[in-house]
Amino acid sequence: MTRRTPNLAPVAALALLAAAWACGPREKTTDEPAAVAGLQEEMRTPPSVEFGAINAMTVDSRGRIFVGDGAQIVVLRPDGSVQARMGREGFGPGEFKWINTLAVLPRDSLYVYDSGLRRVTVYAAGGERPAYTTTLPGPEAVTPVTAKPAGGGIVAAYQTALGDVPGREQGGRLPVILRLLNTDASIRSDSLVLLREPQALRIYNGEGRGHLFYPFARRSLFAVSPAGTVYEAWTDSLRFTAHALDGRTRWTVSEPFKPRPVTRHEMDSVVNALTGAPFSAQTVRRALRATGTQTWPALRSFLVDDRERLWVSLTPAREQRDVEWRVLTRRGRAGTLRLPESVQLLAVRGERAYAIAHDEDDVQSVVVYRIQPGPAGKEAR
């Protein structure tokens, strides 16, 4: 089902969306992405700018920052002051349930994906009312967990259904399949990339049957670059496979990594957390041992910037107060940074990195860093 604002004819709405997606000056990538020496904090929103649940962030060509805050979009000026608040909770045009993805399209149109409503909304540059909305297809029980703009279309991540993957046993989290959709949400490619199923403890014994998820399990991650390249990774290693929108594998980005062992204390903590009706501690410990997983995942998240650099957040130890980030390219490592554990990068565009920070009271703020070029290896300040 597709919804359009009353003042736009169907053809005009599609034309606007297609033009925003496919035309205008695209952000250019370079053959030799610049090395990153560090990050220098440039702006932090004051306590008077309140947020509730930041989940997405992007920036336009004028430096305006768009923040997905639950069911609302907060528009910040480059100095961190609030320019506008768009949207509210609801089901109608311009209303949201849970904003999952924000992206700025060419010509500064704003793309929004609401995973709660499985709906794409596009705002014209500078506009505060939706120019176009469309609901993504699929059975009611199969909601696209996220949807990102790419190459004049949409890369949508769908939870697979039983029967989609041959030999798949019932129970647990199903694998995710990436589909390429047209701008009107019709399917262009039904199976772009099949992501691996997350690891889980599968317990079938006299105590009961169930699937438990544990903190050092491996899972699949994916990201889409501004140039339309789809990167996917299995968190077991620092290896990222790049796919074209026709499904072809283009290249891989990888780096050696020595995983951190799970300590006995950490293992005992996980067993205690998962023990409970109907499973005993002995059953949980036996199931954990059967997975063969005795180390922590290599990474916990990654994003891709407009120079095709991968910003990778490594999995920290519990006692660590900062997190190592590696900046990787096809030519190798371009930088090593350390950020406070309370800071999560959400976007990197041009010469700046945009992040969400939590203080000791879990109050959120938006932080902008200026990227310092040069020899890699400094910490963020």
- The pTM of the full predicted model, rounded to 2 decimals, is 0.88
Buried b (16+ CB within 10 A) or exposed e, 228-239: bbbbbbbbbbbe
User: Domains (ranges, CATH) in the chain?
Assistant: 35-42+51-135+344-373 (2.120.10.30)
Using CB atoms within 10 A of its CB, is residue 310 exposed (0-12), middle (13-18) or buried (19+)? Answer: buried
C-alpha pair distances (Å), 180 with each of 65, 132, 247: 27, 19, 10
In this structure, are residues 378 and 370 in contact, taking their beta carbons and an 8 Å threshold? no
Q: How many CB atoms within 10 Å of residue 162?
A: 10
In 3D, which of 197, 183, 267 has the Cα closest to residue 234? 197
> What CA–CA distance (Å, rounded) separates 82 from 302?
28
In this structure, are residues 222 and 212 in contact, taking their beta carbons and an 8 Å threshold? no
> What CA–CA distance (Å, rounded) separates 343 from 122?
29
pLDDT tens, N- to C-terminus, the chain (381 residues): 444 444 443 444 445 555 555 543 344 444 567 899 999 999 999 999 999 999 999 999 999 999 999 999 999 999 999 999 999 999 999 999 999 999 999 899 999 999 999 999 999 999 999 999 999 987 655 668 899 999 889 999 988 754 444 444 544 456 889 999 999 999 999 889 999 888 988 888 888 888 888 999 999 999 999 999 999 999 999 999 999 999 899 999 999 999 999 999 999 999 999 998 789 999 999 999 998 899 999 999 999 999 999 999 999 987 778 999 999 999 999 999 999 999 999 999 999 999 999 999 999 999 999 999 987 555 554
